[in-house]
Structure 1
């Protein structure tokens, strides 16, 4: 049995599955933020509340950095497209042709924007024959969880509606 304190294997597994989406870099970042929160609060054992505060802390740090990066790197048109993918499409996957119709954009132009955003590491690109779909990167999913309706309160609302 490895000593992972103050974490347990179960906590690491939960954080990896729910928040880091299997991305090792994200897992380390979130665990580090949970440790920071635990140390600051002088908590000896990590509980659900500490995890949630740590995730929120990680999200804020990442969001500041990514928001800055988005402002610096993406053109206003790319930001609009990303906003639609995040705000209206829950992060994707979206199919280029369908999105072009919805946005009233030329498909070639939209494809160029989507490919540039994939190259800049904002989107993942999947090709299935002639159909190309895009979705936001898992780390952006964590950062923009609120906008994507993935936060705990939104999940609770969704569950109540069902």
Structure 2
């Protein structure tokens, strides 16, 4: 368990803490990162035996740690939300061919819309992925020529098969 299981709700507790009344306010950050704690020192006494000395220790690094962990908590939440959005986008692209056409059409602005639609109708997900990668990495004019050439080859194949 990371931080004794406190990290999963750490940021929300910090936000709630800022809204509490000063008289009943308890800082959840101090529970996770105490600033003052009891330390036990083992020292050799005058007779040579080990003696225990209890003292109060100030931990200034925990003040910095609590700020870092609040930032990390919010950063992880933002990353989780963005990852969820990307996951949903990828699911739409995988399961909906219409979305694939829309994505390729927006990226291939110079290519003829009807040609892009014909190519998207003929290709499966893997083929579309290759076309999408080519579209991202090629000059738009060259990609338009590639689409035009591919459609011409499709037309010749359909004439030869007829």
- The structure showing larger relative contact order (alpha-carbon pairs under 8 Å, at least 6 residues apart) is 1
Scaled to the shorter chain, the TM-score interval is under 0.3
Larger helix share, 1 or 2: 2
Q: Calculate the TM-score normalised by the size of structure 1.
A: 0.21
